Amino acid sequence: MSSILTVTMPKWGLSMQEGKVNLWLKEVGDTIAPGEEIVEVESEKISGAVEAAVSGTLRRQIAQPDEVLPVGALLGVIADADVSDELIDDLVTRFQAEFVPPTDDEADAGPQTQTVQVNGRQLRYLKRGEGGTPLLLIHGFGGDLNNWLFNHEALAASRAVYAIDLPGHGASTKVTGAASLDDLADAVSGFMDAVGIASADVVGHSMGGGVCLALTRRAPQKVRSLTLIASAGLGSDINGAYIDGFVAGNTRNALKPLLAQLFSDAGLVTRQLIDDMLKFKRLEGVDAALATLAGGLFPGGRQSEVLADIAAKSGKPVLVIWGENDQIIPVAHASAIPAARVVVLPAQGHMVQMESASEVNKLIGEFTS
C-alpha cells in the first residue's frame, strides 16, 4: 500500500503548546527524502524546521505562513505520487474533524525532568526512549539540557537517551566544586552510577565535550564512544571575550550580541531565548558558579586543559563535529584527534547541534549504531 503521512506541529521543549508557521521550505509537488526540512516553525522559545520522517511527495500545505497552531495540528500531507487526491482530502477532513488541541494538563503530561542526588549535589536530567545502549548528552558552559531540544527525541527513537544539567547549570545545584573538567566528569560518572548506566555513548557539546574527555580519563569503562561537538579540551584557544562577557552579562542588551556569536543565524537569538538565559543567570548562585568555572577552565581567555591525547590513547571511537564558522572555539581544533571521524559542517556556528539538527542527528545515529 502506498504511504500517506501527516506533517504536524512539533513539540519542541516541555513548555511548547503552539507554534507559528513561518515559511514553507518545500512546494506542493516537491519530492522529499527523510530528514529533509519541509516547513519552518517558530515557537515562543526558538524557531526551527520540521523534518520529513518518510520519503514521498509534498501533496498539501494545509497551514499557511503566519498561522498560529497548537501542537499536533495538521501542517501538511506527504504521500506517494500515486495516492489519489480524494484519499488525501478524506484524510485531511477526517484529521481536522477529529483533532482536539491538547489541554494544558495534557501538554504537561509529556516527558518530565527528574532529579538525582550525586555526592550531595542535585542533578536534573531528562530521559527519553527506552532500551538499547544508553546515550548521554552533555551540554556546554552556561547551557542546559534544553540545548538538545532538536536532538533528544530524534536520537531516542530506539534507545534510552539522557540529557543532564551539569552542576552549576540548568536546574542542578548551583555549586560547582573544584571548577575542573574532572570535577564535572565525576559528577557525570556519579550520575551514571545513580541511574544505573554501566557505559554509554557520550555526546558532549563545547565544554561538555571536555567533560566527556575527562570522563574517558577518569572512568574509561563507562565510555563506549565519544561524540565531540565544537568541543573544548582539543586546543588552548577559546573566545575569552565571549566567556567573560557571558559571565558578567546581566541584561538583555549585554547578552544579545554575545548569544548571537553562538549561531550562524543571529535571528535564532530570540527574545525568549535571551529572557530564559537571563532567568537562569539571575538564580541565586549562578553568577558565582559560572565565574568559578570560567576561572578554572578558561583562565586568561585560554583553555586550561587540552585532552586530545586522552581520546587518542583510549582507543574509543571518536566522532568530531564542528561548525565551519564557530566563533567560540576555532574549527581548527577539529583535527586534534588523528584517528577520529571529523565532520565540519559548512557555514555553521557553535550551536551546530541546534542549527543543523537533522545532519547532526544523522551523524550521531550512524556513528553510535
Partner 1 sequence: MARKITYQQAINEALDQEMARDPSVIVMGEDVAGGAGAPGEEDSWGGVLGVTKGLYAKHPGRVLDTPISESGYIGAAVGAACNGMRPVAELMFIDFMGVCFDQIFNQAAKFRYMFGGKAKTPVVIRAMYGAGFRAAAQHSQCLYNIFTHIPGLKVVLPSNPYDAKGLLIQSIRDNDPVIFLEHKALYTMEGDVPEESYIVPFGEAAVVQEGDDVTIVAFGRMVNYAKDAGASLRKKGVQCEIIDPRTTSPMDFDTILESVERTGRLVIVDESHPRCSMASDVSGFIAQEAFRALKAPIQMVTAPHVPVPFAASLEDLYIPSPARIEEAVMRVKEYR
Q: Which 237-296 residues touch partner 1, going by CB under 8 A?
A: 250-252, 270-271, 275, 279, 282-285
Is residue 22 helix, strand or coil? strand
98, 101, 105, 111: CA torsion to nearest 10: 90
How many residues belong to the chain? Answer: 369
The span from the CA of 239 to the CA of 330, in Å, is 8
Measured from the CB of residue 72, what is the shortest distance to partner 1 in angstroms? 16
The span from the CA of 321 to the CA of 163, in Å, is 18
The span from the CA of 18 to the CA of 9, in Å, is 8
Strand 200-205 relative to strand 223-229, pairing: parallel
The span from the CA of 42 to the CA of 4, in Å, is 25
Measured from the CB of residue 284, what is the shortest distance to partner 1 in angstroms? 4
Interaction mask 200-239, partner 1, x per CB under 8 A = ----------------------------------------
Q: Identify any residues that bridge with 321 across adjacent strands, giving them in sequence order.
A: 229, 343
Closer residue to partner 1, CB minimum distance, 94 or 279: 279
Q: Is 299 in the site for partner 1 (CB under 8 A)?
A: no
Report whether 306 contacts 228 (CB < 8 A): no
Residues in contact with 365: Cβ distance below 8 Å, sequence separation at least 6, in sequence order: 154, 155
Cell 552533555, residue?
138
Task: Kindly state the number of chain residues that form the binding site for partner 1, as judged by CB under 8 A.
Answer: 20
Measured from the CB of residue 171, what is the shortest distance to partner 1 in angstroms? 4
Interaction mask 173-202, partner 1, x per CB under 8 A = -x----------------------------
The span from the CA of 123 to the CA of 309, in Å, is 29
Closer residue to partner 1, CB minimum distance, 21 or 223: 21
Q: Is 171 in the site for partner 1 (CB under 8 A)?
A: yes
Measured from the CB of residue 101, what is the shortest distance to partner 1 in angstroms? 12
Closer residue to partner 1, CB minimum distance, 237 or 275: 275
Closer residue to partner 1, CB minimum distance, 88 or 248: 248
The span from the CA of 234 to the CA of 286, in Å, is 26
Q: Which 316-335 residues touch partner 1, going by CB under 8 A?
A: none
Q: Is 130 in the site for partner 1 (CB under 8 A)?
A: no
Measured from the CB of residue 67, what is the shortest distance to partner 1 in angstroms? 8
The span from the CA of 115 to the CA of 138, in Å, is 15
Measured from the CB of residue 183, what is the shortest distance to partner 1 in angstroms? 21
Measured from the CB of residue 266, what is the shortest distance to partner 1 in angstroms? 16
Could you say which of 23, 28, 68, 288 contacts partner 1 (CB under 8 A)? 68
Q: Is 23 in the site for partner 1 (CB under 8 A)?
A: no
Q: Is 113 in the site for partner 1 (CB under 8 A)?
A: yes
Report whether 313 contacts 284 (CB < 8 A): no
Q: Dihedral sign for Cα 184, 185, 186, 188, please.
A: positive
Residues in contact with 109: Cβ distance below 8 Å, sequence separation at least 6, in sequence order: none
Q: Is 109 in the site for partner 1 (CB under 8 A)?
A: no
Q: Is 96 in the site for partner 1 (CB under 8 A)?
A: no
Q: Identify any residues that bridge with 37 across adjacent strands, giving them in sequence order.
A: 51
Helix axes 271-281 and 252-260, enclosed angle (nearest 10): 110
Measured from the CB of residue 113, what is the shortest distance to partner 1 in angstroms? 8
Q: Is 115 in the site for partner 1 (CB under 8 A)?
A: yes
Q: Is 124 in the site for partner 1 (CB under 8 A)?
A: yes
Q: Given the rule CB under 8 A, which residues bind partner 1?
A: 15, 66, 68, 113, 115, 122, 124, 171, 174, 250-252, 270-271, 275, 279, 282-285
